[in-house]
């Protein structure tokens, strides 16, 4: 490989993100965030890890600048380094804000490898963090809160009524009910892309029955561990999980009758490649049902910030017309929008970002943020 000169900031950020790329370290950070104070003495009792392992992880976090204090010897006392965490926050925020819905920047531009890498690393870190959190304190893609006190799950549809629903697997990260519209038959092989803790997999498994199979793929190893535990608790031996990438799916062609995905495709940097992969793994005559957030028009930056606080997927959402075009280009037919739901950002969130006149102007227009459930088929030949 060619030698590349990176800036100091790039090196630092890479180090910080890499330090977060392990569930144990995410768990330690999570604990520190939860207690929101310095920890003097033992954290071992709080974590399912041995002392030497914890010491090693603390060392990596300290080397990356995420925690400060003393982590060795008799005077162990450390806490989160607010300055470095703020730097990370600013970086991620800037990244999210820069990802705009202009098609030439957001539609599967494989040229921008560095940016794609950063997005994926961010997604992995973010969802590993969510997996480590308790269900009550989630900060998610499609149900993001602006502070630990405020939790919004308004974008998620009601799963409670669906057969096979497993509350332990519902991290409320979705934005639709793809499985409800997925037309799954008994005995089908179903693949869930971005399976999280397994929520849609368990609903799908109810439809496939014991003779079918559900395979969940997620980018975060921590999420997949959680999903596997949920499947084991239910004694489901035909729901299985893989840590993998939607742009390079480790399944052979013509594997599945049905592909589902809930509020995940918008997080994938190369959507063209992702839908090509969906097409490849489907059997001829198979279909997908995918829920996602799209935009139907321009979203001013200020509104986007407000919307992002309400629903994390909005920042990376692309135009509906581009999204549908990508699906058609991948070779799909009989494209149908099964559900099209407006996402209304509540006024109490808007008012943190806009003045009263701007709120009135925004509210008088039809919202351009939509949650879609999309169905399309792979032709038989």
Partner 1 sequence: MKLKTIEEKLCCPFDKSDLDLQIFTLDTDNDEVLEGMLSCATCERNYPIISGIPIMTPDEFREEALEKPVFDKWNQLLGQDPSPTPQIEGD
Distance of CA 32 to the CA centre of its chain: 23
- Note whether 380 binds partner 1 by CB under 8 A: no
Residue 147 CB-density burial (10 A; 0-12 exposed, 13-18 middle, 19+ buried): exposed
Residue 111 has phi, psi (to 5 degrees) of: -65, -30
**213 lies in the binding site for partner 1 (CB under 8 A):** yes
The total of other beta-carbon atoms located within 10 Å of residue 141's CB is 30
Told to check if 22 binds partner 1 by CB under 8 A, we report yes
How many chain residues touch partner 1 (CB under 8 A)? 33
Render 126-177 in DSSP notation, one character per residue. Answer: HHHHHHHS-GGG---SSS--SBTTB---TTS---TTSTT--GGG--S--SS-
Stretch that binds partner 1, among 31-39, 244-252, 320-328, 333-341 (CB under 8 A): 244-252
87 binds partner 1 (CB under 8 A): no
Stretch that binds partner 1, among 82-90, 200-208, 214-222, 332-340 (CB under 8 A): 214-222
Task: Pick the stretch among 39-47, 78-86, 240-248, 316-324 that binds partner 1 (CB under 8 A).
Answer: 240-248
Applying CB under 8 A, the span of 165-173, 215-223, 314-322, 358-366 interacting with partner 1 comes to: 215-223
CA atoms within 13 A of residue 137's CA, in its CB half-sphere: 12
| Interface pattern 152-181 for partner 1 (x via CB under 8 A) | ------------------------------
Task: Give the one residue of 42, 72, 90, 248 binding partner 1; rule: CB under 8 A.
Answer: 248
Residue among 56 and 109 whose Cβ is closer to partner 1: 56
Residues written for the chain: 381
Nearest to 319 by CA among 297, 348, 290, 344: 297
Q: What's the Cα-to-Cα distance from 280 to each of 10, 247, 332, rounded to whole Å?
A: 36, 11, 11
Q: Which is nearer to partner 1, 239 or 354 (CB)?
A: 239
Least separation in angstroms between residue 193's CB and partner 1 is: 13
CB of 347 to partner 1, least distance (A): 40
Does position 331 interact with partner 1 (CB under 8 A)? The reply is no
Contact 142, 312 (CB under 8 A): yes
Task: Choose the binding region for partner 1 from 36-44, 224-232, 323-331, 372-380 (rule: CB under 8 A).
Answer: 224-232
Phi-psi region at 356: left, alpha or beta (left = phi > 0; alpha = psi -120 to 50): alpha
Contacting partner 1 (CB under 8 A), which of 95, 96, 168, 242?
242
CB atoms near residue 236 (< 10 Å): 19
Distance CA 143, CA 199 (A): 15
Alpha-carbon span 97 to 304, nearest angstrom: 8
- Measure the CA–CA gap between 261 and 259, rounded to whole angstroms: 7
Residue 78's DSSP bridge partners are 39, 69
Q: Which is nearer to partner 1, 119 or 303 (CB)?
A: 119
Strands 256-262, 282-295: pairing kind: parallel
Q: Which is nearer to partner 1, 251 or 359 (CB)?
A: 251
Stretch 98-137: interaction string toward partner 1, x if CB under 8 A: -------------------x--xx--x-------------
Pick from 136, 216, 205: which is nearest to 166 by CA?
205
Comparing CB distances to partner 1, the nearer of 189 and 293 is 189
| One residue of 92, 151, 251, 337 binding partner 1 per CB under 8 A | 251
Region from 28-36, 247-255, 289-297, 307-315 binding partner 1, contact rule CB under 8 A? 247-255
Task: Establish if 244 lies at the interface with partner 1 (CB under 8 A).
Answer: yes
Q: Which of 249, 282, 343, 354 binds partner 1 (CB under 8 A)?
A: 249
Verify binding: residue 228, partner 1, rule CB under 8 A. Answer: yes
338 CB contacts (<8 Å, ≥6 apart)? 181, 289, 373, 374, 375
Give contact residues for partner 1 (rule: CB under 8 A).
1-4, 14, 21-22, 117, 120-121, 124, 213, 215, 219, 221, 224-225, 228, 237, 240-245, 247-253, 255
């Amino acid at each position: 490989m060619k030698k590349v000169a990176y800036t100091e900031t790039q090196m630092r950020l890479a180090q910080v993100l890499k330090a977060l790329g392990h569930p144990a370290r995410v768990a330690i950070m999570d604990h520190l965030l939860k207690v929101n104070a310095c920890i003097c003495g033992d954290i071992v009792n709080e974590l399912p890890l041995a002392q030497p392992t914890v010491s090693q992880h603390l060392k990596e976090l300290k080397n990356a600048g995420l925690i400060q204090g003393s982590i060795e010897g008799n005077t162990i006392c450390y806490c989160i380094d607010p300055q470095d965490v703020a730097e990370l926050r600013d970086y991620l925020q800037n990244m999210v804000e820069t990802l705009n819905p202009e098609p030439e920047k957001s539609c599967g531009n494989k040229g921008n490898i560095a940016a794609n890498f950063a997005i994926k690393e961010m997604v992995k870190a973010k969802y590993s963090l969510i997996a480590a959190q308790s269900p009550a304190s989630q900060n998610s893609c499609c149900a993001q809160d602006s502070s630990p006190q405020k939790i919004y799950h308004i974008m998620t549809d009601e799963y409670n009524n669906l057969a096979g629903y497993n509350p332990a697997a519902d991290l409320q990260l979705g934005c639709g009910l793809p499985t409800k519209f997925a037309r799954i038959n008994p005995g089908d092989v179903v693949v869930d892309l971005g399976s999280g803790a397994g929520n849609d997999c368990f609903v799908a498994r109810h439809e496939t029955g014991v003779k079918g199979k559900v395979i969940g793929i997620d980018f975060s190893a921590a999420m997949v561990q959680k999903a596997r535990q949920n499947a084991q608790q239910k004694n489901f031996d035909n729901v299985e999980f893989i840590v993998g990438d939607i742009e390079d799916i480790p399944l052979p062609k013509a594997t599945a009758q049905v592909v589902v995905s809930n509020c995940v495709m918008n997080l994938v940097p190369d959507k063209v490649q992702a839908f090509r992969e969906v097409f490849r793994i489907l059997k001829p005559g198979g279909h997908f049902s995918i829920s996602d957030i799209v935009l139907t028009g321009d979203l001013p930056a200020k509104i986007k910030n407000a919307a992002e606080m309400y629903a994390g997927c909005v920042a990376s959402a692309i135009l509906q017309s581009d999204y549908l075009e990508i699906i058609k280009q991948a070779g799909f037919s009989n494209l149908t929008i099964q559900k099209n739901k407006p996402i209304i950002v509540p006024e109490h969130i808007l008012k943190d970002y806009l003045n009263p006149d701007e709120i009135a102007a925004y509210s008088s227009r039809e919202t351009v943020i939509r949650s879609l459930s999309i169905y399309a088929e792979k032709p038989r030949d």
